[in-house]
Amino acid sequence: MNNQNGFTLIELIITLAIMGILSAYGLPDFYELKLNKQLQSERNRLTGSLQLARSYSVMHQSFVIVCPSLSGNGCDNQSNWHEGWIIFTDKNKNRQLDPEDRLLRHEDAMVKQIQAVSSSHRSKIRYNNVGFSPGTNLSINFCDPRGEEKAIALIVSNSGRVKQSKPISSNVCSQ
């Protein structure tokens, strides 16, 4: 007696067709999940840098600047945070990275699909020796290819605290 176990060609084709249909339903959700995680991860990375700068300013009783920087050699005087940023002490309070200042951290650019932009009126964050960030609140909006409806924002208040919010309508990223 010849007893063979296995799939027939028709069973294999039906199984592959069902798997293909189920995968087609799952892929858009996976893409959405991937974008959500990237947006959240980059927002958390910048939040961590801001918290580091604030705590360093309090612990060392010094002024600390956080600003966008592509090169890591100084502030770019623009509002594109997705290209990278630096954190440094500002001994002479001129808001520029000078030789006597200490570079605390240089963060590389965010993933290419993420855009993080603040208003052009305030592109630097300065923490004073008690951890406050005087001036107007700073809003940094995070966007991805899904557009404005999925955008999130970080708000740095005058007290130096960072919170997550919906983006303000006058400063939403353009894709």
CATH of the domain at 95: 3.55.40.10
Is 3 part of any domain? no
Number of domains in the chain: 1
- Residues 150 and 162 sit within 8 Å (Cβ to Cβ): no
Q: Which strands form 138-143's sheet, in the order they lie side by side?
A: 115-118, 138-143, 152-156, 162-165
In this predicted structure, what is the pLDDT of residue 88? 96
Question: Dihedral of CA 127/132/138/141: which sign?
Answer: positive
Is 100 part of any domain? yes
In this predicted structure, what is the pLDDT of residue 121? 79
Q: What is the distance between the alpha carbons of residues 159 and 75, in angstroms, rounded to a whole number?
A: 23
Is 76 part of any domain? yes
For the segment 110-120, what is each residue's pLDDT rounded down to a tens digit?
A: 999 999 998 77
For the segment 145-163, what is each residue's pLDDT rounded down to a tens digit?
A: 888 888 899 999 999 999 9
Rg (CA), the chain: 23
Q: What is the mean pLDDT of the chain?
A: 88
In this predicted structure, what is the pLDDT of residue 85? 96
Residue of 49, 47, 58 lying closest to 104 (CA atoms): 49
Q: Which domain holds residue 37?
A: 9-171
Is 29 part of any domain? yes
In this predicted structure, what is the pLDDT of residue 169? 63
Is 1 part of any domain? no
For the segment 56-79, what is each residue's pLDDT rounded down to a tens digit?
A: 999 999 999 999 999 889 998 888
Percent of the chain with pLDDT over 70: 93
Is 153 part of any domain? yes
Percent of the chain with pLDDT over 90: 57
In this predicted structure, what is the pLDDT of residue 6? 75
Which residue's entry shows tokens 């200490």?
102
In this predicted structure, what is the pLDDT of residue 175? 46
To which H or E segment does residue 30 belong?
helix 9-59
Residue of 130, 121, 147 lying closest to 35 (CA atoms): 147
- Chain-centre distance for alpha carbon 69: 14
The model carries a pTM of 0.82
Is 89 part of any domain? yes
Is 4 part of any domain? no
